[in-house]
Amino acid sequence: MKLTDIRDNPGARKGRIRVGRGIGSGKGKTGGRGQKGQKSRSGVAVKGFEGGQMPLHMRLPKRGFNNPFGKDFAEVNIGMVQKFIDAKKLDAKKVIDHEALKAAGLARGGKDGVRLLGKGELKTKVQFKVAGASKGAIEAVEKAGGSVELPGEKPSEHEKKTARRDANKAAKAE
């Protein structure tokens, strides 16, 4: 036995069918495509085409709405925060922000920050710095002796446009 003598077992590898190589091959002439029509040509994949009838995906009604201005917050309940503090995964002495919650594995995703929700009970005095919080969550944190720091309110698009228009009018008047 030599390295050059190593072979697969007979029938282990099957050669590919060579299509369109004469009548005797069994896949000659039309090459297994039947005859005529769009699908007998190469480069055709007609997904969802129903012979000119309105396709199913176009017959069904559209549903839902995707808000382009919607915010993506990681929602965290204060009860879970208390659980993580008890398990020593969060340090109650430090300010708890998005980074701390992410590191503890409590806040997943949330490209616009963390929103604190009031489900559960908070017994520890904690200082939060989050993007948003519900009224109930703020009350529960303050009741436990802690505080919630929220970012300043940003002007809406309408307010920005109005301010810009007023500034342009004032500039023209001068």
Domain-embedded: residue 63: no
51/139 Cα distance (integer angstroms): 63
Domain residues for the domain of 86 are 74-149
Q: What's the pTM value of the predicted model, to 2 decimals? A: 0.55
Domain-embedded: residue 35: no
Domain-embedded: residue 45: no
Domain-embedded: residue 68: no
Domain-embedded: residue 60: no
Domain-embedded: residue 16: no
pLDDT score at 51? 82
Domain-embedded: residue 99: yes
* CATH number of domain containing 91: 3.100.10.10
How would you write the pLDDT of the chain (174 residues) with one tens digit per residue? 899 999 999 999 999 999 999 999 999 999 999 989 888 888 887 888 888 899 999 999 999 999 999 989 999 999 999 999 999 888 888 899 999 999 999 998 888 999 999 999 999 899 999 999 999 999 999 999 999 988 877 777 888 899 999 999 999 987
pLDDT score at 66? 92
Count how many domains the chain has: 1
Domain-embedded: residue 15: no
